[in-house]
Amino acid sequence: MRKALRAAVAVLATAALVATAAPPASAGGKSLRDAAPRYLKIGTAVAGGGHHVDQPYPDPFPNDRKYRQVLAREFSSASPENQMKWEFIHPERHRYNFGPADAIVAFARRHGQVVRGHTLLWHSQNPAWLEEGTFTKAELRRILKEHIFTVVGRYRGKIQQWDVANEIFNENGEYRQENIFIRELGPGIVADAFRWAHQADPRAQLFLNDYGVEWPGVKVDAYHALASELLAARVPLHGFASQAHLSMRYGAPDQLAAVLQRFDDLGLHTAITELDVRMDLPVTDEKLATQAVYYRTALDACLAVDGCNSFTIWGFTDKYSWVPVFFPAEGAATVMWDDFSRKPAYHTLRDTLAAAPRRHH
Ligand code: 9MR
């Protein structure tokens, strides 16, 4: 008996030793999606269209098998990077191009991923027929309504969240006059877009989405006022999202949790939808360590806020990142190198997810 007890104590002591020697979060060989608490979707942009069209590689999603393998393994949410934008999905007034978006939605379903639809009301990447056409106000309104019913309706029940209104305020917190719908029809069109999207897919969570809202300021205030107004008018608004395109020139997003909390307090979901962290080239180990801290700070912000249910990075490999194309002196903004090997930021995200409280929403 005593011998058995001694043996048991020995086993326990060994277990304790092993436990202290193990890495804190014991993320082991897990993927990001497996390390995450179940309520939190871990997403990525799905590369294609946009800047990719001018690059010396074939369209990434359909052509890069390794890319699709990592996409399926690591993520539980997929955001078409360009394939649901107006210029891509609605290239002529009476023609839609659904093929690439359909393929992403089908892939996501096969791999147990949700989809974030992006986007319905935006000033950028609109087709020439829309931007340069001459329409009466009534026609323009009908065009937007038809577009929303057609696109949202096609994927009804298959989209977890839609970025209904994207980047509608400028840096001064004013409605962007570059947005053809807002300029021609007035800001009231934003509420209509949410109502139409909700009619077309009552289960989708409908979001406001923007960059430059990672710190408090007039832009955040403008969104807070708009969100409060829409909710008071019973417009089906369900969430507020920070894109979080970060640069190491501007500091870590240390007030992001406080910003998200303001919208959580209104009863909205919140999300990080396009996170990346660019650095001045060349890359150094020190910069990679700082980059990991930025990624972690953004993830911690989402984890700290109850209704933050979606955390998406804007691409997972530098191979296809938009950053070097738009910011020539900067790069290395994603969590993996061109060959899909992992940077410190990847490991930090995974360890943080593995250590996160398992909450239910
Ligand atoms: O990553 C997208 C890139 O392929 C396009 O060329 C670019 C055109 O504006 O848009 C990029 O995605 C943007 C997203 O749709 C909205 N927020 C900013 C993103 C980075 O520009």
For 47-83, write each residue's pLDDT tens digit. 999 999 999 999 999 999 999 999 999 999 999 999 9
Residue 149 CA: distances (Å) to CA of 116, 186, 193: 17, 20, 10
Q: What is the structure's pLDDT at 279?
A: 98
* Ligand 1 neighbourhood includes 14 CB (under 6 angstroms): no
Q: What is the structure's pLDDT at 26?
A: 58
Q: What is the structure's pLDDT at 332?
A: 98
**Token pair for 123:** 């000033």
**Token pair for 14:** 């060994």
* Ligand 1 neighbourhood includes 26 CB (under 6 angstroms): no
Burial of 345 (0-12, 13-18, 19+ CB in 10 A): buried
Q: How many CB atoms lie within 10 A of CB 267?
A: 11
For 15-49, write each residue's pLDDT tens digit. 333 333 334 445 778 999 999 999 999 999 999 99
Q: What is the structure's pLDDT at 28?
A: 73
Residue whose pair of structure tokens reads 């000033």 in the numeric block: 123
User: What mean pLDDT is reported for the chain?
Assistant: 94
Q: pLDDT tens track of the chain, all 361 residues?
A: 333 433 443 333 333 333 333 344 457 789 999 999 999 999 999 999 999 999 999 999 999 999 999 999 999 999 999 999 999 999 999 999 999 999 999 999 999 999 999 999 999 999 999 999 999 999 999 999 999 999 999 999 999 999 999 999 999 999 999 999 999 999 999 999 999 999 999 999 999 999 999 999 999 999 999 999 999 999 999 999 999 999 999 999 999 999 999 999 999 999 999 999 999 999 999 999 999 999 999 999 999 999 999 999 999 999 999 999 999 999 999 999 999 999 999 999 999 999 999 975 5
Q: Does 274 qualify as catalytic in the annotation? A: yes
Q: How many CB atoms lie within 10 A of CB 9?
A: 10
Active-site position among 81, 167, 184, 286: 167
Domain spans in the chain, listed from the N-terminal domain onward: 2-355
Q: What is the structure's pLDDT at 357?
A: 93
Q: What is the structure's pLDDT at 29?
A: 87
Active-site position among 92, 274, 286, 330: 274
Distance 315 CA to ligand 1 centre (A): 11
CATH for the stretch 2-355: 3.20.20.80
pTM: predicted TM-score of the whole model, two decimal places:
0.93
**Token pair for 262:** 């303001």
% of the chain residues with pLDDT over 70: 92
* Ligand 1 neighbourhood includes 291 CB (under 6 angstroms): no
Residue 268 CA: distances (Å) to CA of 118, 127, 215, 239, 359: 19, 32, 18, 5, 17
309 with 39: CB under 8 angstroms? yes
**Token pair for 74:** 């690591």
Distance 5 CA to ligand 1 centre (A): 64
* Ligand 1 neighbourhood includes 163 CB (under 6 angstroms): no
